[in-house]
DNA sequence: GATCACATGTAAGAAGTTACATGATTCT
DNA sequence: AGAATCATGTAACTTCTTACATGTGATC
């Protein structure tokens, strides 16, 4: 089993490979910045993945010191396995960001069509979440303090936003067209 | 400094106090379930907070074995400090859930009016996030693969949802009225 | 020649995860 | 009595955080 960060690293370091520093800069300069750019997170993660055989690395000799990691065949397999895993559980709150990453990586690493099918699966999960939260609100809304009710409402709105996004993806609408 | 989980524990164990098991059940049975209900997370956290003087605990003698934690005066101060802290950083992606908790705890522990003021501060943070992401999309949208653009779009929509929610709170609209 | 940015790494500590251990109490 | 559930805790492991250490190449 690989973590979300592992998957992102494997994804980024395909083709020509990437150094730890390259990845840190990507995390700093793009909205990928959800992940920590701290060296204490990146370098050990790369080293671990190499130990597990998912990366091979080469120290560049000319110019600046630089160790370039490149995804191996085994790394390919691991990444494909991560993509194919079932959508863990609802409520999805905690893995929402992981699902987003999976969408992007699936589109790039497999195909847009497959990413759309994944979005369709996400849609179902989000719909279940909305239903569960709305049921909870109907059951306990009256007994809850105002602020808790409001927070629950925010949760519902968040899932509905995701739901609509999935539908737009499936229908080829919006920015992602 | 206390963590978000610490704050939630301190918040829940006011008044009559709560046992670790009580808290685990709360995390299991309500959409508070964002937090882990594993004993290996809860019990050590309670013990740590007691060591720091934010809880006092008493083992109940009659009936089932049960250790009840209760927030101390120092715990009160710590929780108030947590509430009053500045909104860490934008992008807010990573602390969004923390902000939600802060809203609820502020409303219950301080006042609804204070929670509204907090929502107003959140609104500013989310607005800044939307602006930053839209600028990034305008700058790099063309060069990005379709799926990345779509993911960025989702990020923007998520922040806008939060933005609208804050405005509704401030205007006393919606479920939280 | 000094300083800044590049680049990699490690060390110490905090916290969460899964799994296990243990025993009391209530229910049937 | 036996089983299920209540309830607390610990152990081993993994990973992340902050901070430090180190050295090279580019820039002024």
Question: Quick one: pLDDT at residue B48?
Answer: 97
Amino acid B131 CA to nucleotide C10 C1' distance, rounded Å: 39
Mean pLDDT of the A116-138 span: 95
Which percentage of chain B shows pLDDT scores above 90? 80
Q: What is the pLDDT of residue B33?
A: 66
Residue A177, pLDDT > 90, answer no
Give SS3 for B57: strand
Residues from chain A contacting residue B108 (CB–CB below 8 Å): 145, 147
Contacts of B75 (CB under 8 A, 6+ apart): B10, B49, B53, B54, B55
Averaged over B7-22, what is the pLDDT?
95
Which of B110, B118, B108, B133 is closest to B87 using CA atoms? Answer: B118
Using DSSP, state whether B17 is helix, strand or coil. coil
Mean pLDDT computed over every residue of chain B: 93
Residue A155's pLDDT is 95
pLDDT at B90: 64
Tens digits of per-residue pLDDT, B125-163?
A: 999 999 999 999 999 999 999 999 999 999 999 999 999
Return the pLDDT at A32.
76
For the cut 70, the answer to whether the pLDDT of residue A176 exceeds it is: no
- Min Cα distance B24 → chain A (Å) is 17
Q: Which residue has the higher pLDDT, B88 or B66?
A: B66
pTM, full prediction: 0.94
- Taking Cα atoms as reference points, which of B26, B23, B32 lies closest to residue B105? B32
Kindly report, residue by residue over A37-92, the tens digit of the pLDDT: 999 999 999 999 999 999 999 998 777 899 999 999 999 999 999 999 998 766 66
Q: What is the pLDDT of residues B163-174, one digit of tens each?
A: 999 999 999 987
CB contact under 8 A, B157 and A161: yes
pLDDT given for residue B120 in this prediction: 97
Using one digit for the tens of pLDDT, what is the confidence trace for B30-44?
Answer: 887 678 899 999 999
Mean pLDDT of A107-128: 96
Distance from the B142 Cα atom to the nearest Cα atom in chain A, whole angstroms? 11
Q: What percent of chain B has pLDDT over 70?
A: 95
State the DSSP string of chain A: ---HHHHHHHHHTSTT-EEHHHHHHHHHHSTTTTS---HHHHHHHHHHHHHTTSEEEEEE-SSS-EEEEEE-HHHHHHHHHHHHS----SS-GGGHHHHHHHHHHHHHHT-HHHHHHHHHHHHHHHHHHHHHHHHHHHHHGGGS-HHHHHHHHHHHHHHHHHHHHHHHHHTT-STT-
Q: Is B126 strand, coil or helix?
A: helix
Choose the weakest-confidence range: A30-34, A120-124, A125-129.
Answer: A30-34
Average pLDDT, chain A: 93
- Mean pLDDT value of segment B111-115: 97
pLDDT confidence bin for A153, thresholds 50/70/90: very high
Tell me which residues of chain A have a C-beta less than 8 Å from any C-beta of chain B.
Answer: 30-31, 33-34, 91, 93-94, 97, 100, 103-104, 106-108, 112, 115, 133, 136-137, 141, 145-155, 157-158, 161-162, 164-165, 169, 174-177
Please give the pLDDT value at position B60.
86
User: Is any atom of nucleic acid chain C found less than 7 Å from the CB of residue A47?
Assistant: yes
Residues B111-136: what's their mean pLDDT?
96
């Amino acid at each position: 089993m690989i973590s979300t960060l592992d998957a992102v690293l494997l994804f980024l370091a395909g083709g020509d490979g990437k150094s730890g520093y390259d990845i840190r800069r990507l995390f700093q300069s793009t909205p990928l910045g959800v992940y920590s750019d701290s060296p204490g997170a990146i370098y050990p993660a790369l080293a671990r993945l190499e130990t597990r055989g998912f990366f091979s690395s080469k120290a560049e000799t000319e110019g600046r010191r630089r160790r370039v990691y490149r995804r191996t065949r085994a790394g390919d397999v691991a990444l494909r396995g991560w993509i194919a895993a079932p959508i863990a559980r609802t409520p999805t709150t905690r893995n929402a960001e992981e699902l987003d990453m999976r969408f992007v990586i699936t589109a790039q690493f497999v195909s847009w069509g497959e990413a759309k099918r994944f979005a369709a699966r996400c849609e179902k999960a989000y719909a279940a979440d909305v239903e569960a939260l709305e049921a909870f609100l109907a059951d306990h809304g009256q007994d809850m303090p105002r602020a808790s009710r409001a927070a629950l409402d925010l949760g519902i709105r968040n899932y509905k936003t995701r739901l609509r996004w999935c539908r737009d993806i499936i229908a080829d609408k919006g920015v992602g067209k």
